[in-house]
Structure 1
Amino acid sequence: MKHVFLLLAVLFQGMILHARQHDLNITDYGAKSDGVTLNSPFIQAAIDACAAKGGGRVIVPAGRFLTGTIALKSNVTLVLQKNAFIVGSTNVNDYLNLDPFTDGLGVDVGYALVVAVDQQNIGIEGEGAIDGQGKQLKEIQIATDKRPEGERWGRRPFLLRVVRCSNVRVQGVKLLFAAAWTSHYFQCNRLHIEGVKIISHGVAHNDGMDIDGCQHVTIANCDIESGDDALCFKTTSSTMACRDIVVSNMRLKSGHGAIKMGTESMAPFENIKISNCYIYNTNNGGIKLLTVDGAHLRNIEISDITMVDVKTPILLRLGSRLSVFRKGKDTQQPTGIFENVVIRNVKAEASANAQLKPPSGILITGVPGHYITNVTLENISIRLAGGGTAEHARQVVPEAIDKYPEVKTFGPLVPAYGIWARHVKGLKLNNVSFTLDSNDVRPAFICEDGEAITVTNWNIPATTGAEAVIRLEQVGSAQIRNNKVQGKAAAFVRVERSNGSNIKVGKNRLNGIEPARYIHH
């Protein structure tokens, strides 16, 4: 009898699981792929019916199904079969904003084509695509919306928004030509994104993948071509950090930044690992880590990155813009913290046509009184155009304490061709090499206002006419050892505004260059 009860229990459990796994085809609820019918109510009816039955799959068969906003529900997976397209309406009035907020530029946004708010156990998968028709929507919108573009674009819908959801899977689908951000995941827990192809450009603000205050996230094997930032971590609210995230095996092409944290940066960015990424044809930073609205950015590891034709490979910024993005729900925060970041195994070919001319490889800067702390850059190789002059080597870089954090904010150029760092403590730079296509008399490395700086095992290319290979300004302590210099300069290390007592220079191969020169003023 015990075995009978056990068998009945197993069968009953199987019946429950089967009952909860329904397949509902949107065409059975009235959806038509004629390119004219607005299918929002029919697709929504299929989703609602599936949720009411306990969950299952809503099938989008082959065809092009025009629609406005559709909202996913708990325990429902939207399955786009091969050659299936969910196509966004070109009428902005067909979209809803179920979770309004303000973006980093101060624009009210949040409308979406496919959206889920406060749901669990949801998914989007299959071999089909979601096409936002962003360029066509914009052309129709501007015929009647006469506001400036900076205000007008917020009315356009994101392609996919997932808000405060748990157990989310997005796999295999293509996300195409959004009218604004392509995919935005806000305060989600247990999020898995894999094998997603994003092609989204043609209008401004075409971010590829925005991870906004999400936790326990895995992202793997995705291919992103975006007009704006490709893979971007944000915290538009102070209440939930971006935490416990693993990213691997990504191809990223971007009109702005390829891998980015910030600018919206109120809650922490913590325990994030990114590895094995190929970044190419990117018109701004390859890696941009930015906290300017109070966030603690710490315990970040980025490794095994290849960059080809990227403008300014790395930007690290701690600033004091201190914006608020959720109106009436958040308050302004004090300046944040930037610490414990490791970037290793990076090979980059920097574009000659960059925001900074002549171009530079890496910018690192805090603000007065707020230091970027314990950053390690290791096994870094960057090819640069060169071309810097003696005048360029003395360029004064603006603090831009409360400004939008962008490479061009610190332009038109910075005085080091390799790494320029300011307001830093515990900066470790190991096994760094540069290749220059032409002579550059700017220093390979400049540090302004630093403490506990370590420069080891560098391979510095042959240049002539430089005042110094390394310049340290107002640096309290530094270790500069085991570096190889191939060219000629007036000095290897030039120390300014410091007595140099705690700056140790030794065991370097200098090709006859004077090891150090101390300028007291």
Structure 2
Amino acid sequence: MGLIFAGLLALVQPATATALALPASALAAPSVTLPAHGAQLRHTAPEFNVKDYGAKGDGSANDSPAVDKAISAANAAGGGTVRFPLGTYKSQNTLRMRSNVTLELDSGATLKGSNAGKYEAPEPNPYDQYQDDGHSHFHNAMIYGDRLTNIGFTGAGVIDGGGNLITGNPKPGQADKILSLTRCDGLTLGGGITLRRGGHFAALINGCTHVTSDHLTIDTASDRDGWNIISTTHVTVTNATIAANDDALVFKSDYALGAKLMNGHVTVHDSKLSAKCCNALMFGSETCGDFTDYQFQGITINGAGKSGLGMVSMDGADISDVHYRDITMTDVHSPIMLKTGTRKRCGNSPGVGRLSGITYDDITATGNSPSFSPTLWGESGTHHIDGVTFAHVHLTLPGGTGAMSTALPSNNATDYNPNSIGTRPAYGWYLHNADHVTFTDSSVRFGADDGRPAVIANGGGPVTFTRFTVQRGDKSPYDLGFQNVTGGYCVADSKNTTGGAPRISGTGSTQSCGAREAADGAARAAHHAAHLDHPEGPA
């Protein structure tokens, strides 16, 4: 055992020759476990207590220099954990994160921003015309890092902007983010840690891969965004609780790093989200690079001033293979919104994007805005939304609107917000330029009598409703309307809430429901086999 101790200690000792002297606590031998059956020895990384480097933790002294020294020492030693014991650590300078370092805050420990901050200035970005100021600059943050590997933020403590981070464009010396990480590989964020009062972003990552988050809390409902995951692949988020004012958990792809980057292979499950003014679980609006392979399951959304589940392609991205399952939403303006737009705010002359291969299973939602009915809005030509299935999706909308024209509402194709489309002429689903859309064992109801139809599909097709239940308005002209649905429509085994047959108004071609149901059934079976039996997502 003595030989083992000496050998392991030798791995740590060389760092003492660097200019960053290690305190005695960091030189203590790491814990050793002797596994059975001759397995290799494993040891924990050394710890670097910030108080050993001069941090006071009294909430008054500026502890940024001491924390930076601890981070540099851990990095120089080949990696380690920078520990914050009980206390409040005022940080008025940007902390530079380094590879192979984890910041761990004990229960009762708070790393807090300062109103007398001297944070780094925003770096120049030749591509800043393609996204807003907050997305274009990364240095002006409480904690910043670029091209790092194997980093983490864990523990039961808090990183708190303290109301001192900016929600708009910061002036020199001000910061607008807690975490700002670019081009990282191997990020751990969670373990009970809380990010509070994040300014514009509690966490912003761009161009990263291999991200793992478990038991993360973000409390920034009095500021703006929770977590922006931008141009990032291979992400797993579990047991997150995110309360934001702007977007809570959002997936984007911008041009801030000077390239269109891929996004995908993402799993999010067993999480709680809320967004006061905006979107709870969102794709976009920045959408340059393509997105594929997303699995969302076991999510509760309590409040969203825009979309509960939102997805827009505004800047040329193709978004595909996205699956939502077991999601409950309450008090959301627009429970589900999908839109293809033509903003094209991205480098290299982007075209128009496309949304396809999207499924919703076991979704329950109550909306709170009669204007923002759940919507699928595709662009013309080859940019229709395509291949969207709804199974066991039950929505209750507020209703309360009188009869109105069933003509196509207005649309601002360069705006991604739900109100970019005028009041929908259906109190429930409004579908425009959407192909191969199926609803099975689903329903739509209202809280107050409404003079509009439950569903209108305009253009596109085929669209199929099987065992679909609608609530009929006393003065609505019909229940399901099909306007120029040239791909055909089918309504089978459906009813209104009193058991009668739904009233249908249709123009355009129709198709045999039997053949359609067989094709849709085969597609659903294939989807369940490929995705729903494996909620954890790809290995």
**TM-score between the two structures when normalised by the length of structure 1:** 0.84
Aligned to 2:75, what secondary structure does the other structure show? Answer: helix
Give 1:474's aligned residue.
484
> Equivalent of 1:24, from 48, 57, 60?
48
> Equivalent of 2:325, from 303, 310, 319?
303
Shift of 1:288: 0.1
**TM-score between the two structures when normalised by the length of structure 2:** 0.82
Contact 1:345-1:378 at 8 Å conserved across structures: yes
Provide the aligned length of Structure 1 versus Structure 2.
Answer: 475
Give 1:397's aligned residue.
409
Taking the aligned partners of 1:217 and 1:14, their CA distance within structure 2 comes to 35
Shift of 1:58: 0.7
Deviates more, 1:295-304 or 1:22-31: 22-31
Contact 2:216-2:239 at 8 Å conserved across structures: yes
Taking the aligned partners of 1:271 and 1:467, their CA distance within structure 2 comes to 40
Percent identical residues: 24
User: 1:65 and 2:80 equivalent?
Assistant: no
Contact 1:24-1:58 at 8 Å conserved across structures: yes
Shift of 1:153: 11
Taking the aligned partners of 1:153 and 1:469, their CA distance within structure 2 comes to 57
Taking the aligned partners of 2:187 and 2:132, their CA distance within structure 1 comes to 28
Give 1:375's aligned residue.
388
Shift of 1:66: 1.1
The amino acid across from 2:388 in the alignment is: V
Aligned to 2:364, what secondary structure does the other structure show? Answer: strand
Structure 2's unaligned 5+ residue stretches are 13-29, 31-42, 517-539
Aligned to 2:62, what secondary structure does the other structure show? Answer: coil
Taking the aligned partners of 1:292 and 1:153, their CA distance within structure 2 comes to 32
Give 1:278's aligned residue.
300
Shift of 1:274: 0.6
Contact 1:109-1:155 at 8 Å conserved across structures: no
Shift of 1:72: 1.3
Q: Any idea what the Cα deviations from partners look like across 1:453-507, whole Å, max 9, x if unmatched?
A: 11111111243222111111111111221111246999822124x3x35486999
Taking the aligned partners of 1:488 and 1:23, their CA distance within structure 2 comes to 67
Contact 1:463-1:486 at 8 Å conserved across structures: no
> Equivalent of 1:316, from 338, 341, 359?
338
Give 2:274's aligned residue.
253
> Equivalent of 2:141, from 104, 109, 112?
112
The amino acid across from 1:94 in the alignment is: Y
Taking the aligned partners of 2:67 and 2:6, their CA distance within structure 1 comes to 33
The amino acid across from 1:388 in the alignment is: T
Taking the aligned partners of 1:20 and 1:431, their CA distance within structure 2 comes to 52
> Equivalent of 1:221, from 232, 236, 239?
239
Give 2:363's aligned residue.
346
Shift of 1:215: 1.1
> Equivalent of 2:250, from 232, 249, 256?
232
User: 1:39 and 2:63 equivalent?
Assistant: yes
Give 1:335's aligned residue.
352
Shift of 1:397: 1.6
Q: Any idea what the Cα deviations from partners look like across 1:173-230, whole Å, max 9, x if unmatched?
A: 0000012111112111111011011100323xx1111111111110000111111111
Taking the aligned partners of 2:409 and 2:63, their CA distance within structure 1 comes to 54
Taking the aligned partners of 1:153 and 1:410, their CA distance within structure 2 comes to 38
Structure 1's unaligned 5+ residue stretches are 1-6, 142-148, 325-329, 508-521
Alignment of 1:121-270 (within 5 A): 121-134=150-163, 136-138=164-166, 156-171=175-190, 172-203=192-223, 206-237=224-255, 238-255=259-276, 256-270=278-292
Aligned to 1:112, what secondary structure does the other structure show? Answer: coil
Aligned to 2:228, what secondary structure does the other structure show? Answer: strand
Alignment of 1:418-457 (within 5 A): 418-457=428-467
Taking the aligned partners of 2:504 and 2:293, their CA distance within structure 1 comes to 36
Taking the aligned partners of 1:263 and 1:488, their CA distance within structure 2 comes to 41
Taking the aligned partners of 1:161 and 1:265, their CA distance within structure 2 comes to 19
Do the aligned partners of residues 129 and 191 (structure 1) sit closer, same or farther apart at CA in structure 2, a change above 3 Å counting? same
Taking the aligned partners of 2:173 and 2:63, their CA distance within structure 1 comes to 24
Contact 1:187-1:212 at 8 Å conserved across structures: yes
> Equivalent of 1:362, from 374, 395, 399?
374
Give 2:506's aligned residue.
495
Q: Any idea what the Cα deviations from partners look like across 1:283-303, whole Å, max 9, x if unmatched?
A: 221000111111110000011
Contact 1:178-1:201 at 8 Å conserved across structures: no
Do the aligned partners of residues 504 and 390 (structure 1) sit closer, same or farther apart at CA in structure 2, a change above 3 Å counting? farther
Give 1:414's aligned residue.
424
RMSD of the TM alignment (CA)? Answer: 2.9
The amino acid across from 1:71 in the alignment is: R
Shift of 1:360: 4.7
Taking the aligned partners of 2:201 and 2:217, their CA distance within structure 1 comes to 15
Taking the aligned partners of 2:453 and 2:251, their CA distance within structure 1 comes to 33
Aligned to 1:375, what secondary structure does the other structure show? Answer: strand
Taking the aligned partners of 1:424 and 1:64, their CA distance within structure 2 comes to 54
Taking the aligned partners of 1:386 and 1:153, their CA distance within structure 2 comes to 48
Aligned to 2:179, what secondary structure does the other structure show? Answer: strand
Shift of 1:15: 5.6
